[in-house]
């Protein structure tokens, strides 16, 4: 049985706030459908105090902005993008196109075709998330997407130079200084100045996530996203200081970011809580991390590792950090997570920023049915069929006729009948001509 030392606020409070977000987003999308660029400009002025002559940066503007970025930052961006690109290429290599002959003259095949245009949303606001440019743009380009449109908002009326550099170096074909619902809607439905895309990827705040949810179906999206989540799994050997630091590393993303500890040690649990309370006052990002921990932090104590892994799977969290004596056991015991971070030498922040795996991951329990963003998300896996052997045509034609008539699909049956007639001279009693 689990003992809960710290509870989160009731889910009903979270649901109520989402309803207001949903209503706002619906109105913005409808307005942009109706008024296009005029509405986009109005919302950019309203939400970001940003209304340049053109939201899209020219090549000359991009070069000038990049020139303002310190060389160490550029070098670091290149290094991290190399890590992301390497991992994405290995993912691509794991996808196999094939053609097989299942019957004489019956060839079935599979191909992977990249979408024609992808939108990459790189959040701004308080934090210039350069790493999201690596995750969304580099991965799309490895997949072979010919046109990648990248959007990021200005920050307090200023151009986020490092983010622009990351977008350019990642391979973005178009860079737009545009954020929020207006960016997602413009990429999705198109305007006079922006051609629409086929798929949008990238994290964002509640409004961005809701815009993607509402537009899904009209365009593809990477996944349904919510606030960043961290789940730390610890045994009695775990260091409470490390547990606390890592919990707060994700709590600083926003005031609604869940940070949860499950441990087999009550001592580790109590000391971790004490360390969090000790560290919080001195955090520069306390205004986000403190309410996140207060309202959405949880601490659970269980009796055994089996209970620990079982409870962890119930959470189905985005990030799961395993601080146990044998962290790789989690690979065998767990099935519901976005990404695992195994052992004290690894941390969620590595995945967020530098290690090369993708940081766009499922939240709000979506890990029950999907993984995170990967190179395959930008690919359409399609099939093709060809029948050239007459005996196989006759066999499949007769089978199709029988199978379709069981389902009362006479039209389907007749398509099969015609193949059998052409291949083997079967009668067509329904053809009175």
Which residues participate in catalysis according to the annotation? 318-319
Residue linked to tokens 């005029």:
38
Tokens matching residue 40? 């986009």
Residue 43's closest CA among 62, 29, 61? 29
Q: Are 125 and 155 in contact (CB under 8 A)?
A: yes
As a whole number of angstroms, the distance between CA 148 and CA 167 comes to: 10
Between the alpha carbon of residue 376 and those of residues 114, 136, 137, 231, the distances in Å are 9, 12, 13, 26
CB under 8 Å to 15, separation ≥6 — which residues? Answer: none
Collapsing DSSP to helix, strand or coil, 260 comes out as: strand
Helices (H), 144-239: 161-170, 180-189, 206-215
Q: How many CB atoms lie within 10 A of CB 83?
A: 15
CA distance 175 to 178: 9
DSSP states of 151-165: EE--BTTB--HHHHH
Cβ burial 251-275 (10 Å sphere, 16+ → b, else e): bbbbbbbbbbbbbbbeebbebbbeb
Q: How far is CA 202 from the centre of its chain?
A: 6
Per DSSP, 325 falls in state S
**Contact yes or no for 416/398 (Cβ under 8 A):** yes
The 3-state DSSP class for residue 298 equals strand
Task: Count the neighbouring beta carbons within 10 Å of the beta carbon of residue 290.
Answer: 20
Q: Which residue, 282, 267, 275, 284, is CA-closest to 245?
A: 275
């Amino acid at each position: 049985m689990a003992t809960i030392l710290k509870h989160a606020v009731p889910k009903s409070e979270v649901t109520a706030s989402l309803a207001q977000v949903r209503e706002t987003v619906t109105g913005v999308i409808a307005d942009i459908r109706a008024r296009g660029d005029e509405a986009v400009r109005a919302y950019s002025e309203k939400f970001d105090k940003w209304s340049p002559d053109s939201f899209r940066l020219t090549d000359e503007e991009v070069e000038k902005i990049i020139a303002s970025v310190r060389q160490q930052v550029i070098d670091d961006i290149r290094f991290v993008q190399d890590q992301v690109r390497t991992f994405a290429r290995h993912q691509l290599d794991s996808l196999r196109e094939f053609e097989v002959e299942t019957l004489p003259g019956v060839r079935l095949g599979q191909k992977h075709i990249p979408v024609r245009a992808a939108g990459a949303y790189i959040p701004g606001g308080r934090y210039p998330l350069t790493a999201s440019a690596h995750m969304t743009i580099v991965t799309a380009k490895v997949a072979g997407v010919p046109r990648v449109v990248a959007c990021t908002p200005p920050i307090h009326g200023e151009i986020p130079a490092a983010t622009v550099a990351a977008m350019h170096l990642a391979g973005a074909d178009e860079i737009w200084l545009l954020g929020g619902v207006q960016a997602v809607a413009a990429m999705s439905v198109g305007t006079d100045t922006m051609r629409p895309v086929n798929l949008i990827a990238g994290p964002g705040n509640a409004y961005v996530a809701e815009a993607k949810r509402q537009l899904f179906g009209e365009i593809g999206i990477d996944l349904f996203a919510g606030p960043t989540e961290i789940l730390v799994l610890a045994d009695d050997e775990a260091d409470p200081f490390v547990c606390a630091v890592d919990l707060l590393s994700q709590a600083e993303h926003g005031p609604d970011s869940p940070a949860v500890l499950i441990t087999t040690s009550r001592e580790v649990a109590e000391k971790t809580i004490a360390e969090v309370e000790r560290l919080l006052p001195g955090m520069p990002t306390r205004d986000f991390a403190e309410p996140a921990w207060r309202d959405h932090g949880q601490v659970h104590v269980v009796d055994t590792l089996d209970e620990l892994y079982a409870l962890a799977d119930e959470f189905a969290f985005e990030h799961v950090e395993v601080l146990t004596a044998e962290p790789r056991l989690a690979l065998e015991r767990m099935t519901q997570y976005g990404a695992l971070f195994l052992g004290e030498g690894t941390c969620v922040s590595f995945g967020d920023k530098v290690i090369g795996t993708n940081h766009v991951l499922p939240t709000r329990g979506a890990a029950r049915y999907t993984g995170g963003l990967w190179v395959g998300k930008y690919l359409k896996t399609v099939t093709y069929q060809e029948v050239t052997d007459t005996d196989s045509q006759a066999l499949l034609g007769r089978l199709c006729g029988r199978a379709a008539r069981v389902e009362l699909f006479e039209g389907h049956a007749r398509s099969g009948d015609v193949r059998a007639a052409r291949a083997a001279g079967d009668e067509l009693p329904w053809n009175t001509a």
